[in-house]
Amino acid sequence: MHRIYFDNAATTALAPEVLEAMMPFLTEKFGNPSSIYSYGRESKMAIEAARKTVARILNCNPGEIFFTSGGTESSNTAINASVNDLGCKHIITSPIEHHATLHTVENLEKKGIVRLSIVKLTDKGHIDMADLESLLANSPEKTLVTLMHANNEVGNILDIQAVGELCKKYDAIFHSDTVQTVGHYPFDLKNTYVHFINGAGHKFHGPKGVGILYVNENIQIKPLINGGSQERNMRAGTENLYGIVGFAKALEMATEHYNNDSEYIRGLKSYMAEQLTHTFAGVSCNGDTNGRSLYTVLNVSFPKTDKTDMLLFNLDMAGICVSGGSACSSGASSVSHVIKALYNGKSETMVPIRFSFSKQNTKEEVDAVIEKLKDLI
């Protein structure tokens, strides 16, 4: 069976060029980067070269980039460090964050360590900036604002510059989960007021199990994982050498081809949205699809009927890979917390499906999915 993969927000296929860059470090260049002899020095040099590549692309200093196991570890590190090391006693977040953020802040609140505030959303699912400013202005405690740059389910993009300016005005710490945008969006961290961002290699055709945490040079934090002196005493454990090399190569390729790839993928998203809404009665797009939205993600809702109730399962049986929300929660039987937050009271009548695209997808695949949906619905 020929499979059609439309779940690139969950993970992407490893690019052949990235695998090629990784292979020497999976084979003959296997030295431990902490070793002082030639094998170790060779590995250490590869890591530092990767760090410089990432820093150059994000426009920050190499010393501000730390390699981790992925986005979840990076978010956990940033949030816990903000509380434990930077004195934040109040956290502001949104109801549509990734669970790596939501579960972390909820756990801190449950333990009585912080006060937690949930910022309101606009009708289109964006952060209500007036409410955010009100929460900041009325906070007597040092505050952490943790808001994702692009939502992984509906694609809404945060105005990161505007939020940064509010955090600067009220002397708040700002963490943005940028897992869906690193590798898909240009960054200029030297000119952005943000203390932490994070990325994951597998979201832009790099390897799984490797990510980054950017820590602004003006703050000092302690490690989440203790042990050895790796990552300049910030993240103990032998480095994921080949993963780090692959991360940098994938980010380099994504940046080099950003203009052409983003335009192409945006065209696929627009075409599919048009085909779905024109072909099927009652189908609607979730989030700010035609506004401030990530070009890779399209989330639509089908009216809930006997035929659509098993739509994800039936598409899978037909070899079409899509999701109902975050892959990290794909076992859930009900609609996601994001859809519930956006459509309170209406979400149980909807069958939301996320289609997410990469440069490897084609218009012909979109047409094939539309035809299969006609058969199923």
Distance (Å, whole) CA 55 – CA 52? 5
Helices 241-256 and 16-26 pack at an angle, to 10 degrees, of 160
- Listed in sequence order, the residues at least 6 apart from 112 whose beta carbon sits closer than 8 Å to its beta carbon are none
- Listed in sequence order, the residues at least 6 apart from 27 whose beta carbon sits closer than 8 Å to its beta carbon are none
Are 74 and 195 a contacting pair, CB within 8 Å? no
Distance (Å, whole) CA 116 – CA 102? 10
Distance (Å, whole) CA 153 – CA 119? 18
328 catalytic residue (yes or no): yes
Nearest residue to 246 via CA among 13, 7, 1, 18: 18
Q: Terminal CA-to-CA distance of the chain, rounded, Å?
A: 21
Are 105 and 146 a contacting pair, CB within 8 Å? yes
> How far is Cα of residue 218 from the mean position of the Cα atoms in its chain?
24
Residues annotated catalytic, as ranges: 328
